[in-house]
Amino acid sequence: MQSKFSCPRGTTDITPFDISRWDNIERISKQILTCYNYKEIRTPLFEETELFARSMGQSSDVVCKQMLNLAAQQKDDQDGVTLSGLSLRPENTASVVRSYIQNGFDRKEPISKLFYIGPMFRGERPQKGRLRQFNQIGVEVLGPNTAQPYLDAEIISLSVHLLKSLGLEKFQLKINTLGTPEDKENFSQMLRQALKPYRKELSEYSQQRFERNVFRVLDSKDAADQEIVKKVHIGLSYLSTESQHYYAQVKEALMNLDVDFVEDQHLVRGLDYYTHTVFEICGSSLGSQDALGAGGRYNNLVRQLGGGDIDAMGFALGVERILLALGDKKVPLSNPLAAYIVPMSEEALNQGFVLMNVLRQENISCDLSYKYSAKLKNVLSNANKMDVHTVILLGEEEMKKHCVTLKDMQQKKEETISIKGNDFSKIINILKERYN
């Protein structure tokens, strides 16, 4: 016997035995996103590595350590295929912005409200809630002169509406603002100033980040670092008056929408491209991997990637994190099979095969037991396991009398229907009346 294969580390199979939870999340999300007038976009699953480096920041953990790159291909005489400098997408904002620029969305519509649902890839050490292939539901809103506090509030409240509709109850929305790039620079200088007295006490990791990207110190998982960070209070003094006003309006709009939030001045998000409003949603039961989703405004990224002066904001929710947070909550099953045809002889199998095809052409979901058995008990025990509405029995008696027996498996009652030749219209009508 040959050795068995397993799915690669940090990946999982979604089998029919658990697909309904995924189906449910995607169906509900698409319904809400459509209700908010967001339209789906699908970009390729790999892009130029440089796109991610320029958007997420050359020094970010993702770009430095977690990118899954494609191997350069050897040239072949006939096909001449060369591939290099490509990576699987670690997130989708850069790809959506690239597509927005390349396809000239700004010439087609004044504002683009986009959503995506799909897999992302990171070469991380796998752990609970952290996979190498994982799924995100995200939105990006782009358009010239669309930086408006109301839109920020719409986007944040959409993320909350999604999570609530998916069945999550206990989570916390944290918000903060980074202001303009100038404000952000002020913030980083004030942060360095405030951390200076403690610099020697910081972890090695944070000491390295101190000069290069001081915001990373605020994200540190080190307990001592976290204690130091708690002592630092900067307030909103790094913000220009205009940025303070913008932030105040975002908060007011959120309150108008009855969206609960807390302000967290240490929320800075791990990516370089954020400006102004940033937010994060944490579950209460997820341990260290507690972020269900996060997002923020990124008014300068489109220009940075070669496009025009386009304001933008977005967020992404982690589907695996949502599933973890939902725990074992039951998901209503998708529709059970309308009919299961059970032949008890070879002749009955022939007839059942034709009947099945007729029902399927009429959009009545059904299947056939290809292994016929003359033992009614065997036959029905299989059907019982299957979650089926009606069993259509083709036994010896039925074949003789040109009829079928319909057994309603929910109501535990049965009736006999006579058929003429291959005219199954009576059966079709009964099943359609019951299930459509």
Footprint (CB under 8 A) of a copy of itself, residues 389-408: none
Q: How many CB atoms lie within 10 A of CB 260?
A: 10
Rounded Cα distance, 233 and 23, in Å: 45
How many CA atoms, within 13 angstroms, populate the side-chain half-sphere of residue 284? 5
288 binds a copy of itself (CB under 8 A): no
50 binds a copy of itself (CB under 8 A): yes
| Pair 67, 91: CB distance under 8 Å | no
Rounded Cα distance, 187 and 184, in Å: 5
245 binds a copy of itself (CB under 8 A): no
Binds a copy of itself by CB under 8 A, chosen from 60, 93, 112, 243? 112
433 binds a copy of itself (CB under 8 A): no
Choose between 53 and 393: whose C-beta lies nearer to a copy of itself: 53
Fill in the DSSP letter of residue 291.
E
| Pair 87, 69: CB distance under 8 Å | yes
Q: Which residue has the tokens 């999604």?
A: 162
198 membership: H or E segment, kind and range? none
Shortest distance, position 397 Cβ to a copy of itself, whole Å: 23
Query: In this chain, which stretch among 37-45, 262-270, 393-401, 405-413 interacts with a copy of itself, using CB under 8 A?
Result: 37-45
Query: In this chain, which stretch among 73-81, 236-244, 282-290, 321-329 interacts with a copy of itself, using CB under 8 A?
Result: 73-81
Pick out residues in 169-228 that bind a copy of itself (CB under 8 A).
Answer: none
Pick out residues in 83-102 that bind a copy of itself (CB under 8 A).
Answer: 83, 86, 88, 98-99, 101-102
Pick out residues in 116-175 that bind a copy of itself (CB under 8 A).
Answer: 119, 121, 123-125, 133, 145-146, 148, 150-151, 153-154, 157, 161
Residue 192: phi and psi, rounded to 5, are -60, -45
Query: In this chain, which stretch among 113-121, 182-190, 227-235, 406-414 interacts with a copy of itself, using CB under 8 A?
Result: 113-121
- Angstrom distances, CA of residue 426 to CA of 80, 291, 422: 61, 55, 11
> Exposure of 187 by Cβ count < 10 A (0-12 exposed, 13-18 middle, 19+ buried)?
buried
Shortest distance, position 270 Cβ to a copy of itself, whole Å: 15
Binds a copy of itself by CB under 8 A, chosen from 28, 45, 403, 419? 45
